Structure formats: structure tokens, C-alpha cells
Amino acid sequence: MAEISAEDRDALIAAQSMSATTKRATVPALEEILYEPLPVLDHGFIRVVDYMGDDAAIVQAARVSYGKGTRQASQDEGLIRYLMRHRHTSPFEMCEIKLHVKLPMFIARQWIRHRTANVNEYSARYSILDKEFYVPAADQLAVQSSINNQGRGEAINHDDAEKILDLMKGDAAQAFNSYEQLINSDADGKPIDPERPALARELARIGLPLSTYTQWYWKTDLHNLFHFMALRADSHAQYEIRVYADVIRDIANRWVPLASKAFEDYRLHGVELSRDAIEVVRRRLRGENVERETTGLSLREWRELQDLLGE
């Protein structure tokens, strides 16, 4: 369980003890973890706060029908897979979910690029930030990739990793100490110097590092949730956002198991080939020895196709 304050724990217990009678669809597997903070990274978490719809809602929207109908579950699954396979996205938009997420600011800046969502973030203009910042595990430290300007290369050896972690921890600690001095408040909210004025919080926050944790409520529909996972659960995504996407994948598997399975089969673990790449596959199936120069593919496209084909 993620680390939360005693006050938040009391609120969580109170929320989970509540129940309501409803005629709308509920999902028992998702109800089991409703409000529960699922840990991510060193101080982060994801909580399911609310949701609407289930696999049946997708089928209902596609057929524009009343209720669940009398069709067999296998027929519903077949329809959902058809919709996913042929990119009929609007039925998936009938399901929505609201998440409470605690995450480092530099991951929040990546995450917010997914603009098809409703977001409300904790404001450091009004509230004092907790003294929590993300520190990578030693095995996640790596050199800059020589072939990918956005990625990591080989892992850094243990001795150098320890020195780097000391620098990262020291910089963050110093920044937080300066922040507390500027707002004239310690970790318990007490004035550090009663005789000294406190700088406005909206100004004091500007020196904090991107490793600082923030929180937000994030609400989106299932189609856009799948789009988020397609990009962020991919092996090429940055590790720190990928682990959040992995938790969301587990949530989706509980919430809409049929749609989630179709997404993983056709999107997450499926591939999309260009016309030229399909022609390469066809030529090879005919037994031809295909050279890149005869395909119209760039060197990068050729290498990606070879990777996909396991060559």
C-alpha cells in the first residue's frame, strides 16, 4: 500500500466504508480497489476515484440497444474485438474513469500532453508542498543514448551511480530547505522565524526541482485511456511514466477485461505496417531475398521491420 498520511488514511477508510444502491453498472473487480492508493515509484500512487460504464456499455453503444440484451458473451467479445480491430472508437468513449494520481512534476509535464482529459492539479499557490521528491533507483541510472536523443543507453556502474544519487538527493534537499526558508514554515507548518515575513507561496515554489511530487485528479474516457497506454506502456516510453501506465493497465483489466484484452492484442502488442513494409513481407513469403535498397524503406524503417520480424 502506498504511503499516505494518517489523515488521508482515515478519509480513505471512511470512503471505502460507504455504500450506495444504484441501478447503473458496477464492476466488482474494480470496486475491490476503489479509493485504494496503488503504489508507484518511491512516493507516488494511483487511486480509482470513480468510473462509468463497463464492457457491456461498449456493446450497448455499438448496437444502440437497451440494456445488456440476450446475446452470448462470446458475441459481445467478438463485437468489441471487431470495434478495436477496425478502429471504431466512439463506443469506447462511452466509458469514463477518474483517477487520483501522485507523480513527480517532470512526469506530469509528459502526462499533460494527453490533452483529451479533464485535469485538476494540486496548487502550490495555495498550499504548501510536502517534502517529497523522486529519487531513481540505482539500477535505473543510465548514460544518454547515442542513437535516441530522448532515451537512455547502458547502465551506469555502481560507484558512479552512488555519486550521482548523492548529488540528486543533495540538490533536492537544498531546494526544499530554501523553499521552507522562503515560506518561513517547517515541515509541521510552524514558522521558522516568527519575526521574518513569509514570501508568497506562488513565488517560493519556483526554485523547486522537477523531481518534486504533485497530485491531480485526471478523468478521461476509455478510448483516450487506451491511447495513453499505447504510448506510455510501450517499451520505448520513459521508465518513470511507463510504471504508471502499467498500473493503469491493471486497472483497465479489472474494469473492462474484454476491451482491455482486445486493446492489448491489437494495439499494445500489435503492429502497423506501411504499404512498403507489407510488400516486403509479401515478397519474402514468395521466397524472395529482399534487399533494403529495393524496398523504398529508409535504414531506420528497415531496422524496425527487421526487429518486428525477429531478424
User: CA–CA separation, 55 vs 207, rounded Å?
Assistant: 46
Can you give the C-alpha Rg of the chain in angstroms? 24
- Could you tell me the three cell numbers for 220? 478521461
* Residue 113: Cβ-neighbour burial (10 angstroms; 0-12, 13-18, 19+): exposed
* Residue 127: Cβ-neighbour burial (10 angstroms; 0-12, 13-18, 19+): exposed
- Could you tell me the three cell numbers for 159? 560507484
HSE toward the beta carbon, residue 118, CA cutoff 13 A: 7
Orientation angle between helical segments 55-63 and 73-85, nearest 10 degrees? 70
Report the DSSP pairing between strands 38-40 and 142-144.
unpaired
* Residue 286 bears catalytic tag: no
Which residue in 174, 115, 163 sits closest to 141, CA to CA? 163
Which residue in 54, 9, 11 sits closest to 30, CA to CA? 54
| Residues 84 and 262: beta-carbon distance below 8 Å | yes
Which residue in 95, 53, 113, 100 sits closest to 221, CA to CA? 95
**232, 254, 275, 303: which one is catalytic?**
232
Q: Give catalytic residue positions.
A: 232
